[in-house]
Amino acid sequence: MKRGTILNSVLINAIGCMGHTDLMMICDAGYPIPAGAWKVDLALTKDDPDIYKILKLIEKDLVVEKVIVAEEQEKYNPPLFGNVKDLFNYAELEKVPHTEVMTILREKVKVFVRSGSFEPWGNVILQSGVDAPQWFDKPGTIAPDFYQDRIENLNSRDE
């Protein structure tokens, strides 16, 4: 039997298939997921599970280098924005117009994880990274400055 927190086999597979710079969106219950897209549907009932609960679980298994949220989230849903900012304090945070989350970025997302959240501006996009401490751990390899920052950020996350 698998060790770890996440038991949903489809979600485990989705996380395992993420490559460097791939996008995974954890979306609210009403997000219009494109037909034919890779969807992991975790929604059970209103707010169960909520976006933040799913983010906390995924954060333990996925290397995240960037988090993208609608810029409106900071003003109109400050509790979620604060939770996301705190949870991924080691990753770059990018705010984009909500219309971009609904159009341009939607077409670039590899995996959609549907929550049960009824959450205004509740969609959170995670950009997958590489585990920089492991990529540069061989003797003689040298991490460029931008990877050195990621190494420090990931190491501080694990402390």
- How far out from the chain centre does Cα 44 lie? 20
Among candidate residues 7, 20, 94, 144, the one labeled active-site is: 20
- Are the C-beta atoms of residues 28 and 51 closer than 8 Å to each other? yes
Chain CA centroid to CA 99, Å: 19
- Are residues 23 and 126 in contact, defined by beta-carbon separation less than 8 angstroms? yes
15 vs 26: CA distance, rounded Å: 12
- Edge-to-edge strand order for the sheet containing 124-128? 38-41, 111-114, 23-27, 124-128, 64-70, 92-96
Please report the DSSP string for 52-115 in residue order: HHHHHHHHHHS-EEEEEEEHHHHHH-HHHHHHHHHHTTTSEEEEE-HHHHHTTGGGT-SEEEE-
Q: Is 20 a catalytic residue?
A: yes
Catalytic residues: 20
